[in-house]
Amino acid sequence: MGDAVRVRAVRMVFDDVLALDAVDLDVAGGRVHGVLGPNGAGKTTLLGLLLGLLAPRSGSVEVLGVPVVRGAVLPAGVAGFLDAPGLYPGLTARANLMAVARLAGAGGAAGSRVADALSRVGLAEVADDRVRGFSLGMRQRLGLAGALVTEPRLVILDEPANGLDPQGRRLVQAVLEDLAADGAAVVVSSHRMDDLADWCDEATVLAAGRAVFSGPLAKLAAECGPLEHRVVVAEPQRARAIAETLPGLTVLPSPRTAPDTVVVRGETAAIEEFAAAVVGAGAGLRSLAPVVSPLEAAFVRLTGGEEA
Amino acid sequence: MSAVLDRRVEAAAGPASWRAVLGLEIAKTAAQGRIQALVALCAVVPGVVVVGLSLQSTLPTDTVFGRWIPASGWAGALVVLAFCGTWMLPLLTAVVAGDAFAQEDRLGTWRHLLLAVRSRRRIFGAKVAIAAATLLMLVVLIAVSSVVGGLLSVGPHPLVGLDGTVLTSHAVAVRVLAAWVSVLPATAAFAAIGVLGAVLAGRSPLGLLAPVVVGLGLQLLQLAPLPAVVRLALPSAGFLAWRGLFTAPAQTAVPIAGALVATIWTVVLLAIARHCFVRTETVLGEPVGAARAGLVAAAVAALVGGGAGVLAATTPAAGSGIHRAPLEASLAESFAHLYRRQSAELGRPDVAEADLRARASCDRGGPRGVDDGPGHDWRCVVRWRLPGVATIGRAIYQLDVAPDGRYVADGDGPTDVNGYFLVRTDLGDAPNPLWQVDGLVDLLAAPTKG
C-alpha cells in the first residue's frame, strides 16, 4: 500500500523558535503510527502540517499524494483533530456529525453514516442531546465519530484518549484497529505510552524538533538500554549482596517504604542471571518487574529524560 | 504561491459543497442563544415601544417624526428607524457580523472548520452570506414590528412630511418601505466593519471592541460639523439619508449618494477582510501586523478622501451643506404647507401654498455672524400675504439646525400663529402644526437658491 503521508526534511520556525528540523515521516495505509515527544518537541506542529493547517517553510509534505503548500487545501479523505475535537455546543451530537458528513460529500448516506458512527463510539443514546452538556470524554468520542463519518483515508488524532476512562480507551483502540483494517493510515499522538503500545504499529519520537527515532514499536523498545527492575525478596540484604557481585548490574537505593525491595539496573541477561542467583541462594524471590516499561524507558532515554 | 496555483490545487482537492457549508452556517446561527434572543427582541420590542409612545402624553419631539406619532401609525416606524439608524443598527450589525467569525475563535473550531470545508474562500463567503441574511431578517423584523405597532395603535393615517406636505397613507407606506430599504447598504457597510475587525483580531479585546468603537466613532462624526461631502463619504451617512424621501419632491441625491458610498465601503472592506482571511495561515487572532494595519488605514483614507472628492466634483455641495438660501426656501415651503393645514383645522378659508407667497429671512448669530452651517442660533422671520389682504403676516422662528441637515423651527410668535402647542378646533384641541416645524435642508444642494 502506498504512503498516505510522506514528509521530507521539514523545517518549521516560529518567531526564531525552532519547532521542527529535518523531520522525515512515512505512514502507509493500514498502519497506525504514533507520534511521541515531550512538551514543545514539535508534535502539534507536525500534526498541523499533516492536517494542512500549516505549510512547511522548507522541505516537503505530501498527504494522500497531494503536496501541502500555503494557500492550498487538503484532498478529501483526511480527517481528525488537533488539541481537541471541533464541536459546536449549540448543536446536537447528531447535527454536528451530519454537518461533517455533508461537508465530506456524504449526501444521502449522511444519516446512516452518522447513526453508525454514533453507535460505534457509544453515543447513540445521547445523539439528540446538545453537545453543550457533554463531558470531556464524550466530546472525545464524538470527535472520533466525526472522523469516522467522513470515511477517511488518513486520520490524524491528537491525544484522542484525553479524558477517557479505560472503557473509552478500549473503544479508541477498537476504532483505530477498524480504520487500519479498512486501509486508512492513522497518525496519533498520546502522552500515555501504554496507549501507544496498545494502538500503534510504529512510532516517531520527537525531541526538540528533531525525529530521534522512527520505526516499529518493537525496535523502539529495544532502544531502552539497561532497565531498572524492582525485585521483591524475602531476604533483601542477601539479595543485595548477590547483586553487588554480578557483573553488568548496578544496585540502586531501595524505596524507603519498601524495605523488602531491591532495585537493580542492567541488561535483560544480567537481570535474568540475578533472578536465578536469588532463587538458587534461597533468598525468596517474590516478584520482579521493570520500574518503567521498555517503551517508556526508551522514550526517556531518547528524549533526554523528559516526560512525554 | 500564485493565485492560479491556489485555484488549481483547490479545484483538484474538491472543497465541500456550497450547500453543505451554507447549511452548517445556518445550523450554527440558528442554534445560537443570542441570535434567538435578538430575533425575539427585534420582533417584539419595537412594536411595544411604538404602542407605548402612542399612548404617552409627552412625545419624543427631538426625534424626527416623533411629534406625529399620535397622528399617524406610520410615524412610529420612522421614529424607530431614526433611533436604530443612529445607534442600534451600527452596533448590532458590527457585533452580529463580527461574531460569525469570532465565535469560531471562541469555540476553538477554526481548525475543524478549515479541515472539513477545505476552502477558506467558501468559509468566508458562507459566513458573510449567512451574517447578511441574519441581519436582513433582524432589520425586517424591527421594521415590521414597528409598523404593526403603529398601525394597530394609531391607524394608517396620512403623515406630515419634512417639508410640511401631507402625504397620503399609501404614499407614506411606500416611503416607509423605501426608508427601511435605504438603510440596508449602510447596514452592510457596518457588517463589513465587524467582519474585518473579527478577521484581523479574532476574539481578542481588539477584535470585539474595534467594530463597536468604529461604529460609535462614525456615528459621532455625523454629529460633528464636517463638510457635507466628507459627511456623506462616511458609511454612517446611509443611516440618515432616508429623511430626504419625506419631502415633495423627494431629496433623492443624498439617499442615492449614501447608498452608493455604503456599497463601496462594503465591497472594499469585505475584499480586504477576504484577502486577510484567505492569507491567514492557521487561525484568526494572529497579530494584526503593520502591513495589515497599514492596508486598512490606507483603504479607509482612500474611501473617505475618494468619496468626498467624487461628491465634491459631481455635486454642487459646498462647505457644511447648510446655507442661508436653501434654509430660507425650506422653511418658507414648510410654513406654507403647515399654514394651510392650520387653516383647515381652524375652519378658515382654504388658501393654496403658492397664493401665500411665503418668504423666510434667516440670520445666524446676529449681524456679525456668518449665515452658514449647523447650529441652534439661527433666527428666521417668515412673511406671507393672504390673497386679498393688504397686511403682511409675520412669524418668528428659532431654528436648531443639525449637521445632517435636519432642523426644528420653534415658533417664537406671534402667539396666535405659533405661540401655543395646541389650537382649538371644532372637534376640540389639536396640535398646532405651526408651533414647531420639522424640516430638512438638502446637503448636496447649491449654496444659493434659484
Does A129 touch chain B if contact means CB atoms closer than 8 Å?
no
User: Looking at the partner chain, which of B17, B109, B113 has a beta carbon nearest the beta carbon of A105?
Assistant: B17
**What cell was used for A229?**
527492575
Q: Rounded to whole angstroms, how far apart are CA atoms A155 and A172?
A: 13
SS3 B369: coil
DSSP E strand stretches across B286-391: 359-364, 375-385
- Asked if residue B173 has pLDDT above 90, the reply is yes
Contact A71 B279 (CB under 8 A): yes
- Asked if residue B8 has pLDDT above 50, the reply is no
Report yes or no: B404 and B231 within 8 Å, Cβ to Cβ: yes
Q: List CB contacts (< 8 A) between A54 and chain B.
A: 281-282
Please give the distance of CA B257 from its chain centroid, rounded to a whole number.
12
Q: How far is B194 from chain A (nearest CA, A)?
A: 22
Which residue is closest to A79 within chain B, CA to CA? B115
Contact B118 A74 (CB under 8 A): yes
Give the 3-state secondary structure of B95-129: HHHHHHHHHHHHHCCHHHHHHHHCCHHHHHHHHHH
**What cell was used for B90?**
451600527
Q: List CB contacts (< 8 A) between B12 and chain A.
A: 66, 75
Q: Sorting pLDDT into bands at 50, 70 and 90, what band is B5?
A: very low
- Of B60-64, B140-144, B207-211, B428-432, highest mean pLDDT: B140-144
Q: How far is A101 from chain B (nearest CA, A)?
A: 9
Q: What is the pLDDT of residues A200-234, one digit of tens each?
A: 999 999 998 999 999 998 888 887 778 889 999 99
Eight-class DSSP state of B408: E
Interface of A with B in 173-192 (CB under 8 A): none
**Amino acid identity, position B262:** A
- Asked if residue B298 has pLDDT above 50, the reply is yes
Contact B111 A81 (CB under 8 A): yes
Q: List CB contacts (< 8 A) between B17 and chain A.
A: 102-103, 105
**What cell was used for B154?**
394609531
- Strands A154-158 and A185-189 come out as parallel
Backbone torsions φ then ψ of A48, nearest 5 degrees: -60, -35
What pLDDT score does A1 carry? 52
- Asked if residue B289 has pLDDT above 70, the reply is no
Q: What is the pLDDT of residues B68-104, one digit of tens each?
A: 898 899 999 999 999 998 778 877 887 788 888 888 8
Does A108 touch chain B if contact means CB atoms closer than 8 Å?
no
Q: List CB contacts (< 8 A) between B274 and chain A.
A: none
- Asked if residue A2 has pLDDT above 90, the reply is no
Q: Sorting pLDDT into bands at 50, 70 and 90, what band is A273?
A: very high
**Which of B245, B191, B227, B389 has the alpha carbon at shortest distance from B322?**
B227
Best probe of the A interface among B115, B130, B279, B284, by most A CBs < 10 A, is: B115
pTM: 0.85
CA angle B395, B354, B401 (to 5 degrees): 45
User: Looking at the partner chain, which of A54, A81, A90 has a beta carbon nearest the beta carbon of B282?
Assistant: A54
Q: What is the mean pLDDT of chain B?
A: 87
Which residue is closest to A155 within chain B, CA to CA? B115
Cα end-to-end span (Å), chain A: 31
**What cell was used for A39?**
512538551
**What cell was used for A60?**
516537503
- Asked if residue A136 has pLDDT above 50, the reply is yes
Contact B109 A72 (CB under 8 A): no
CB pairs under 8 A between A and B: 115
Q: Rounded to whole angstroms, how far apart are CA atoms A170 and A195?
A: 9
Q: Sorting pLDDT into bands at 50, 70 and 90, what band is B283?
A: very low
**H or E element: which one contains B394?**
strand B392-401
Q: How far is B101 from chain A (nearest CA, A)?
A: 13
**Which of A64, A52, A57 has the alpha carbon at shortest distance from A3?**
A64
Which residue is closest to B12 within chain A, CA to CA? A75
- Span of A258-267, B208-217, B237-246, B305-314 with lowest mean pLDDT: B208-217
Contact A73 B13 (CB under 8 A): yes
Q: Where are the domains of chain B?
A: 3-314, 324-440
Contact B112 A51 (CB under 8 A): no
What pLDDT score does B207 carry? 63
Does A81 touch chain B if contact means CB atoms closer than 8 Å?
yes
